[in-house]
């Protein structure tokens, strides 16, 4: 990329993509968000007519109120943490790339559900004259329900364009050395500042067991990420465990379940834990509410004495450097 971020004469843009979040912590806004999210056939793989009836007949009558309450407990004056951190991270990546290249670089953020949408952002970048795109979903581990659906949204947008642009798509970065180092360093920094519990729980967002059977490498990616961080930190067997959180619905999901492990840890003699969530690029409902509030209560009620969540990489300098490395390599 030279003076005005051109490669081979073509103007480049980097589009970071995250999941999306409700526009407000209210039942109406959460219902709108969940209706879009949970109707995505990449997310819930149940035949549409049946699923539509379950979603609109049951889930969207109950869940929005419950989830809105959870969102309200973590909402900030600037908005939903997922969006606020993702925006700050985007700004940090833009600054990092500009510094490396000595020129302005187009770096924008899109959300798979809600706003700013992938289609809207791609259209705006095209209007600015961008002809070469790097789409970088903020999911270190690959799952069809997150990464592939971001790709679908990009492809759906290009279907409406006569001139399809050049496209690079980052599929995953679960074992990228700089990602592993960034997470490991964030854990060590947390231990230096707050003390070390002696037991580290690695909690990743869950996924239906069926997605694994159908071929998602997600759980393998989570295992590899965890093993690499464990090796880098030099943790002993028995001083850490990998779990999956945020189970949704009655089906079997990847195991062990985070809450079940937290309930039994005190009886195994583990009364102090640190929890890290390497799969979440930025803090959001699933870390700030589920891990830091709800699951903490579960652990304390089961006899736990100390429980700390280690923040996500968020908009920290190491995160911006990691994503800039990935962007440079892909462009
Ligand atoms: C069938 C349901 C779901 C699948 C499959 C799923 C996979 C999945 N999700 C993330 C990351 C995030 N999920 C978040 C929230 C969230 N996830 C689901 C359901 C599934 N996720 C729901 C219903 C919700 C909404 C909140 C609620 O009502 O409980 C979030 C946080 C969003 C926010 O606004 O902060 C993230 C991030 C991954 C990585 C993943 C597959 C690996
Ligand atoms: Fe989710
Ligand atoms: Fe959750």
pLDDT digits (tens, 9 = 90+) for 123-147: 999 999 999 999 999 999 999 999 9
pLDDT in the model for residue 105? 87
pLDDT in the model for residue 10? 73
pLDDT digits (tens, 9 = 90+) for 264-300: 999 999 999 999 999 999 999 999 999 999 999 999 9
Residue 198: which residues within 8 A CB-CB, separation 6 or more?
239, 270, 272
Which atom, in ligand 1's list, is nearest to the CA of 22? Answer: 34
| Among protein residues, the one whose CA lies closest to atom 15 of ligand 1 | 286
pLDDT in the model for residue 110? 98
| Among protein residues, the one whose CA lies closest to atom 39 of ligand 1 | 205
Query: How far is the centre of ligand 1, averaged over its atoms, from the C-alpha of 286 (Å)?
Result: 8
CB 178 within 8 A of CB 217: no
pLDDT in the model for residue 3? 42
Residue 226: which residues within 8 A CB-CB, separation 6 or more?
202, 240, 242, 278
Ligand 1 pocket mutation, candidates 63, 82, 214, 285, criterion most atoms within 8 A of CB: 285
Q: Is 190 in the pocket of ligand 1 (CB under 6 A)?
A: no
Report how far apart, in Å, the C-alpha atoms of 330 and of each of 46, 87, 133, 134, 321 are. Answer: 35, 21, 10, 7, 14
Ligand 1 pocket mutation, candidates 16, 17, 19, 137, criterion most atoms within 8 A of CB: 19
pLDDT in the model for residue 162? 96
d(CA 273, CA 266): 10
pLDDT in the model for residue 7? 58
ipTM of the complex: 0.97
d(CA 282, CA 6): 30
| Among protein residues, the one whose CA lies closest to atom 30 of ligand 1 | 286
Which atom, in ligand 1's list, is nearest to the CA of 74? Answer: 35
DSSP state of 311: P
CB 257 within 8 A of CB 206: yes
Closest listed ligand to the CA of 207: 1
Q: Is 21 in the pocket of ligand 1 (CB under 6 A)?
A: yes
| Among protein residues, the one whose CA lies closest to atom 34 of ligand 1 | 21
Closest listed ligand to the CA of 206: 1
pLDDT along the chain (331 residues), means of 10: 54 97 98 98 95 97 98 98 98 97 93 98 96 97 98 98 96 98 98 96 98 97 98 97 96 98 98 98 98 98 98 98 97 86
Domains of the chain by start residue, with CATH: 27-72 (no CATH), 177-310 (3.40.50.1400)
d(CA 11, CA 130): 5
Q: Is 151 in the pocket of ligand 1 (CB under 6 A)?
A: no
d(CA 44, CA 3): 45
Beta-bridged to residue 111, according to DSSP, are 18, 117
d(CA 330, CA 3): 19
Closest listed ligand to the CA of 67: 1
Torsion angle of C-alpha atoms 112, 117, 118, 124, degrees rounded to 10: -170
pLDDT in the model for residue 104? 84
Ligand 1 pocket mutation, candidates 60, 286, 289, criterion most atoms within 8 A of CB: 286
Annotated binding site: 205, 286
Per-residue exposure over 296-329, b if at least 16 CB sit within 10 Å of its own CB, e if not:
bebbeeeebeebbbbbbbbbbebbbbbbbbbbee
């Amino acid at each position: 990329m030279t003076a005005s971020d051109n490669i081979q004469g073509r103007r480049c843009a980097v589009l970071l993509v995250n999941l999306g979040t409700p526009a407000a912590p209210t039942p109406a806004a959460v219902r709108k968000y969940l209706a879009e999210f949970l109707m995505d056939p990449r997310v819930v793989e149940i035949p549409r007519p049946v699923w539509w009836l379950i979603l609109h007949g049951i889930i969207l009558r109950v869940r929005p109120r419950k989830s809105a309450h959870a969102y309200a407990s973590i909402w900030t004056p600037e908005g939903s943490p997922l969006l606020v951190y993702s925006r700050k991270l985007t700004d940090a990546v833009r600054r990092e790339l500009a510094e490396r290249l000595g020129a302005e670089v187009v770096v924008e953020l899109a959300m798979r559900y809600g706003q700013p949408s992938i289609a809207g952002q791609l259209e705006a970048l095209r209007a600015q004259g961008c002809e070469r795109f790097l789409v970088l979903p903020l999911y270190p581990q690959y799952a069809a329900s997150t990464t592939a659906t971001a790709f679908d949204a990009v492809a759906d947008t290009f279907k409406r364009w006569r001139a399809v642009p050049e496209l690079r798509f980052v599929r995953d970065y679960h074992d990228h050395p700089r990602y592993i180092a960034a997470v490991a360093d964030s854990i060590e920094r947390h231990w230096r500042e707050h003390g070390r519990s002696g037991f580290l729980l690695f909690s990743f967002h869950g996924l239906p067991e069926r997605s694994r059977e159908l071929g998602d490498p997600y759980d393998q990616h989570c295992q590899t990420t965890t093993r690499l961080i464990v090796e880098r930190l030099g943790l002993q067997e028995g001083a850490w465990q990998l779990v999956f959180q945020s189970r949704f619905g009655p089906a079997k999901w990847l195991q062990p379940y985070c809450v079940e492990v937290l309930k039994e840890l005190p009886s195994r003699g583990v009364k102090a834990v640190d929890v890290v969530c390497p799969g979440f690029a930025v803090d959001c409902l699933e870390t700030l509410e589920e891990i830091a509030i709800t699951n903490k209560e579960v652990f304390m009620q089961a006899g736990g004495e100390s429980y700390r969540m280690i923040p996500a990489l968020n908009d920290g300098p190491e995160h911006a450097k990691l994503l800039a490395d990935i962007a440079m390599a892909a462009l």
